[in-house]
Amino acid sequence: MSRTKKPPELTGRTVLVWFVAFFGVVFAVNAILVKAATSTFGGVETTSSYKAGQMFEREVARAERQDARHWQVGGTLVRAKSGEAVLDISARDDKGAPLSGLTAKARLAHPADERLDHVIALARNGAGAFKGEADAGPGQWELIVDLYKGDDRVFRSRSKVILK
């Protein structure tokens, strides 16, 4: 008498266990990838494109008023021996006289990740002159300089810079 072993049966319970396990693994991997994607992406330029579109006309008008002033605003951004990025700004009117009554703000914006941006605290360094430092690493940055008269922004400059 020979005994032949019967192959294992594929039951409904086995199919259910494999089905649930497969989709459990898929959902777990998706959850890990979604968490990694949302926690590492910092390059959002604007949170609301609708509001940014509404502000466009206002920005165009500001740029036209800025161009009409013919101000001469220049600056240098160099690496100090201490490792800090040092920014010097000079602001003059259309006749070359230093501008007074202004405050300045500056920011080094990282091109890909806004979490790496650095605000440069600027201090007045004479009439129409400002100086500040930031602890920014080497690489390509966008230097954004704003001049204010009271609460009104009267000048904006955006420049690509490379820090070594």
Is position 110 within any domain?
A: yes
Determine, yes or no, domain membership for 3.
no
Range name among 83-92, 112-121, 150-159 with the lowest pLDDT average: 112-121
On whether residue 105 sits in a domain, the answer given is: yes
Mean pLDDT, residues 149-158 taken together:
91
The DSSP symbol for 95 reads: T
How many domains does the chain divide into? 1
Instruction: Decide if pLDDT at 41 tops 80.
Output: no
Q: Are 111 and 123 in contact (CB under 8 A)?
A: no
50-75 pLDDT per residue, tens: 888 888 888 888 899 999 998 999 98
Q: Which structural domain range is residue 90 located in?
A: 71-163
29 occurs within a structural domain? no
Q: How confident is the model at residue 2 (pLDDT cuts 50, 70, 90)?
A: low
Q: Evaluate whether 86 touches 131 at the Cβ level (below 8 Å).
A: yes
What CATH number has the domain bearing residue 109? 2.60.40.10
Looking at residue 105, its pLDDT comes to 94
17 within some domain: no
Per residue in 94-129, pLDDT tens?
A: 998 988 889 999 999 998 888 889 999 899 988 889
The residues that bridge with 90 in the sheet, in sequence order, are: 74, 129
Mean pLDDT value of segment 74-101: 90
Here the tokens at position 124 are: 């007045």
